[in-house]
């Protein structure tokens, strides 16, 4: 069987029917184009000799995409990131987005929750519900997903230090509503390495934090086959100032570190690797971003097969979510952010993303208003249904420019991999941890951020509305304001839960959790689920674990 015949067979498996795709002028489009012309199932059986180095979509090393049929048979998931104020208000926004055509949910948590603190912690003062939804206990998680069928929709949760307990609350709520663990689909970000490297939302030292990641990975492999327990995130690395090449390299290198974590826990690579996923930024340099995604797929496939010995092709597939660049948005002339977001979203989809969040034009000023969030979703829908990019698999494949950029991205990443491996004496896991201790990532990202800022300040890098094409007076736009009453009500809600719960059950759950945490061989997910069902709060769980794991404070650089 030729490579072309294999592609046709894969395409046929994905396609339940053969819709006719054409341009506005009526030109019929083939599913995929190569150096030998247009190809489709109707050309099966013909003699087709492709060059030895030419790839087809859905074939190793997946530069042209992980699926033979691309978006022709299934569009990317339009997973809009949402969370603000209370769980009840966020639930309402979720249902609005689903009614507007959203096809997946993504939870944005407020800063106290991200940091593992309760809403009534003194350090939470003034931040409750401001940049996301406040989740303190099981009760909040239940309200967050009220009237949403968790077994029928995939859910992403962008959280890291308290990720294991947040997942425990989610599982507990689902089970209470009759949804078994095996039916739950979605993603937990749970990428703690990038917190030390870029975002700084950490609680415990790196090594015990990696233990929690290990426990969620092994739990999901055994109990939640449709769940991605880890989304290795380059998004925050890029937002901190990294270049596209650094985002690519640091993210994939962290992925290798997590692979070695799973192997160290005794898991067979093909038992957990298919559940790993990635989260990339879609920045404004259009072609560079597309090349970044193509290089990422190729690197991951090669390393998983040749370096880590994965034999199941599903382990070779790099699946990723994309979010348009928050750092590219400007407070000046914010309506221009609609244009920036559309261009970035187009890069993500031309790069083959599996799901996409588009930022709202007003996010640089406040949490998105309902109107701005709807425009952001409509941006994806216009790309999907009006531009024609979903009618052809990998439309930019074969572009001289894009292919060369892809090679350059790959070369740059491999150079960084070599540096990290050297730090860890051959281990990417140890290299990542030593890199945290030595500020390897932090210093490199800071240098890149400084260089870019110098170019913008000097006018060498044009940012429309900021250093060129400036308006002396701008019209104010409506913003979403989260008042102090949100925090007051959330604190009252948390205190009510504490008064109504069984204090003996809470104390026993916390003591059991600490005892299990002292034994490095115990998986902490079941104890955390029991704690969630006992209505233990996020802050109480984190404090209990800190008694065993300790706290992390970044030393002076």
Give the pLDDT band (50/70/90) at residue 47. Answer: low
**Rounded-to-integer distance, Cα 9 and Cα 14, Å:** 9
Give the pLDDT band (50/70/90) at residue 526. Answer: very high
Average pLDDT score over residue span 260-264: 97
Say if strands 355-357 and 320-324 run parallel, antiparallel, or are unpaired.
parallel
Structural contact between residues 178 and 125, judged by C-beta atoms closer than 8 angstroms: no
C-alpha dist (Å) from residue 115 to 126, 139, 142, 460, 538 = 14, 19, 21, 38, 10
pTM of the model: 0.95
Length of the chain: 557
Secondary structure class of 106 (helix, strand, coil): strand
Q: Which long-range contacts (C-beta less than 8 Å, at least 24 apart) are formed by 283-288?
A: 283/238, 283/244, 283/325, 283/328, 283/344, 283/347, 284/325, 284/328, 284/340, 284/343, 284/344, 285/244, 286/343, 286/346, 286/347, 287/347, 287/401, 287/402, 287/405, 288/244, 288/405, 288/409
Give the pLDDT band (50/70/90) at residue 10. Answer: confident
Q: Which long-range contacts (C-beta less than 8 Å, at least 24 apart) are formed by 406-409?
A: 406/63, 406/291, 406/294, 406/295, 406/298, 407/295, 408/245, 408/291, 409/244, 409/245, 409/248, 409/288, 409/291, 409/292, 409/294, 409/295
Secondary structure class of 490 (helix, strand, coil): helix
What proportion of the chain, given as a percentage, has pLDDT over 70?
98
Question: What residue segments make up the domains of the chain, in order of their start?
Answer: 3-43, 77-458
C-alpha radius of gyration, the chain, whole number = 24
H helix runs in 30-78, sequence order? none
Average pLDDT score over residue span 228-235: 97
In terms of Cβ atoms closer than 10 Å to its own Cβ (0-12, 13-18, 19+), residue 343 is: middle
The partner residues of 33 in beta bridges, in order of sequence, read 38
**Rounded-to-integer distance, Cα 398 and Cα 404, Å:** 10
H helix runs in 459-537, sequence order? 484-500, 503-518, 525-533
Give the pLDDT band (50/70/90) at residue 231. Answer: very high
Contacts of 111 (CB under 8 A, 6+ apart): 124, 127, 130, 131, 132
Q: Of 39-48, 92-101, 444-453, where does the model show the most confidence?
A: 444-453
Whether the bond into 61 is cis, omega within 30 of 0: yes
Give the pLDDT band (50/70/90) at residue 43. Answer: low
In terms of Cβ atoms closer than 10 Å to its own Cβ (0-12, 13-18, 19+), residue 460 is: exposed
C-alpha dist (Å) from residue 492 to 24, 118, 485, 487, 488 = 58, 12, 10, 9, 6
Residue 18 has pLDDT above 60, yes or no: no
Residue 557 has pLDDT above 60, yes or no: no
Q: What is the pLDDT of residues 159-182, one digit of tens each?
A: 999 999 999 999 999 999 999 999
Q: DSSP assignment, residue 65?
A: -
Secondary structure class of 29 (helix, strand, coil): coil
How is domain 77-458 classified at the architecture level of CATH? Answer: Alpha-Beta Barrel (3.20)
């Amino acid at each position: 069987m030729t490579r072309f015949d294999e592609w046709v067979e894969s395409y046929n498996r994905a396609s339940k029917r053969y819709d006719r795709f054409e341009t506005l002028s009526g030109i019929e489009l083939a599913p995929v184009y190569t150096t030998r012309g247009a190809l489709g199932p109707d050309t099966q059986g013909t003699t087709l000799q492709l060059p030895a180095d030419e790839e087809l979509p859905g074939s190793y090393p997946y530069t042209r995409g992980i699926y033979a049929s691309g978006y022709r048979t299934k569009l990317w998931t339009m997973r809009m990131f949402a969370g603000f104020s209370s769980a009840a208000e966020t639930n309402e926004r979720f249902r609005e987005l689903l009614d507007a055509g959203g096809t997946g949910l993504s939870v944005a948590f407020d800063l106290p929750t991200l940091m593992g603190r309760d809403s009534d912690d003194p350090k939470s003062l003034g931040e409750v519900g401001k940049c996301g939804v406040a989740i303190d206990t099981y009760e909040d998680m239940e309200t967050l997903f009220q009237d949403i069928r968790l077994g029928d929709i995939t859910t992403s949760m962008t959280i890291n230090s308290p990720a294991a307990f947040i997942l425990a609350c989610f599982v507990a709520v689902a089970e209470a509503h009759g949804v078994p663990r095996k039916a739950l689909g979605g993603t937990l970000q749970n990428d703690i390495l990038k917190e030390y490297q870029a975002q700084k939302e950490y609680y415990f030292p790196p090594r015990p934090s990696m233990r929690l990641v290990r426990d969620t990975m092994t739990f999901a492999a055994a109990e939640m086959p449709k769940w991605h327990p880890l989304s290795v995130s380059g998004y925050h690395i890029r937002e901190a100032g990294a270049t596209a090449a650094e985002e690519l390299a640091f993210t994939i290198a962290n992925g290798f570190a997590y692979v070695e974590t799973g192997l160290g826990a005794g898991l067979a690579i093909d038992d957990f690797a298919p559940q790993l996923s990635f989260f990339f930024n879609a920045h404004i340099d259009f072609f560079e971003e597309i090349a970044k995604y193509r290089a990422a797929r190729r690197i991951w496939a090669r390393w998983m097969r040749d370096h880590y010995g994965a034999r199941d092709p599903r382990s070779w597939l790099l699946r990723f979510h994309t979010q348009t660049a928050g750092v590219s948005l400007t407070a000046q002339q914010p309506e221009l952010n609609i244009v920036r977001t559309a261009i970035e979203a187009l890069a993500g989809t031309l790069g083959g993303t599996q799901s996409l969040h588009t930022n709202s034009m007003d996010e640089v000023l406040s949490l998105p208003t309902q109107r701005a969030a709807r425009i952001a979703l409509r941006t994806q829908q216009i790309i999907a249904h009006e531009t024609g990019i979903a009618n052809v698999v990998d439309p930019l494949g074969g572009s001289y420019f894009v292919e060369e950029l892809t090679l350059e991205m790959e070369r740059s990443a491999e150079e960084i991999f070599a540096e990290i491996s050297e730090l860890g004496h051959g281990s990417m896991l140890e290299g990542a941890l030593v890199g945290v201790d030595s500020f390897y990532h932090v210093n490199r990202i800071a240098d890149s951020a400084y260089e870019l800022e110098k170019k913008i300040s000097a006018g060498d890098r044009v940012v429309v509305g900021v250093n060129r094409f400036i308006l002396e007076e701008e019209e104010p736009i409506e913003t979403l304001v989260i008042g102090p009453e949100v925090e007051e009500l959330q604190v009252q809600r948390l205190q009510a839960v504490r008064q109504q719960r069984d204090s003996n059950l809470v104390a026993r759950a916390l003591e059991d959790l600490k005892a299990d945490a002292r034994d490095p061989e115990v998986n902490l997910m079941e104890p955390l689920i029991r704690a969630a069902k006992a209505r233990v709060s996020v802050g109480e769980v984190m404090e209990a674990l800190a008694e065993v794991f300790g706290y992390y404070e970044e030393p002076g650089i």
